[in-house]
Chains A and B, each alone.
Chain A
């Protein structure tokens, strides 16, 4: 079985400050890792993903995440946040060998940007 732990339920950050949202996973096999963002009253949008290759992955809006196999982590970072980044962020893991690759999500981190 696999699981995801998002250590912080809420993270307040001042505008233009850096932020890190933490994600740790547990799995006995290789994994795919994802970050999804959910804006108020909306569904989930894919932010970035790690499938294989380079352990550092980037999104088009300035977020990046690094896959660390030894620490079983996939933390999300942004060097300078904007008001528009206010949202709920979900880390998810999938097992590529499972057959249906269901996503197992963490409980989410609510990012609040303070003007």
Chain B
């Protein structure tokens, strides 16, 4: 177990709805990254948060947004859901130091189904 937790584990939504996914970081970690893993694919980087600010973003539209809280937990919000948003959403936490970012540890994921 990595100490990274995510909620909920499963979620079903319909097209056009909005969803919020949550992630609690491993103790001592200050950085959170979110990935989308479509069925049969490798995870794709969505964005990363460090010190409550976005610190890099992948090729995802603005309807994917996030937050990081002072306790380093994080939320991923997706507006105007589309069928192609159906995927496993993975959160990874790590520690950023003056020497760079350390290894990312993943949570179990939230499986989102959009109907």
Contact = CB atoms under 8 A, between A and B. Distances in A.
The answer to whether A binds B is yes
B108 A102 contact: no
Given A42-B108, A43-B108, A101 B101 contact: yes
Interface stretch (A12-20, A56-64, A72-80, A105-113): A105-113
Contact of B48 (A42, A45, A102): A102
Interface string B47-87: 01010000110100000000000000000000000000000
Interface residues of B, number: 27
Q: Pick the most buried of A43, A45, A98, A105: most chain B CB atoms within 10 A of its CB.
A: A43
B48 A100 contact: yes
B30 to A, nearest CB: 13
Given A43-B109, A44-B90, A49-B103, A99 B56 contact: yes
- If over half of B's interface residues share one DSSP class (helix, strand or loop), that class is named, otherwise mixed; here it is strand
A43 B58 contact: no
B4 to A, nearest CB: 8
A14 B72 CA distance: 44
Contact of B107 (A36, A43, A101): A43
B106 A36 contact: yes
A46 B56 contact: no
Contacts of B105: 46
B33 interface: yes
A103 interface: yes
Given A102-B56, A102-B58, A103-B104, A45 B2 contact: yes
Contact of A43 (B55, B90, B100): B90
18 contacts: A34-B103, A43-B90, A43-B108, A43-B109, A44-B92, A44-B106, A46-B104, A90-B43, A92-B42, A96-B101, A98-B56, A100-B31, A102-B45, A102-B48, A103-B43, A105-B42, A107-B41, A108-B41
Interface of B: 2, 6, 31, 33, 35, 40-45, 48, 50, 55-56, 58, 90, 92, 100-101, 103-109
Question: Sorted from nearest, which 7 A-B pairs have the closest CB atoms?
Answer: A105-B42, A100-B56, A44-B106, A43-B108, A102-B45, A101-B101, A43-B106
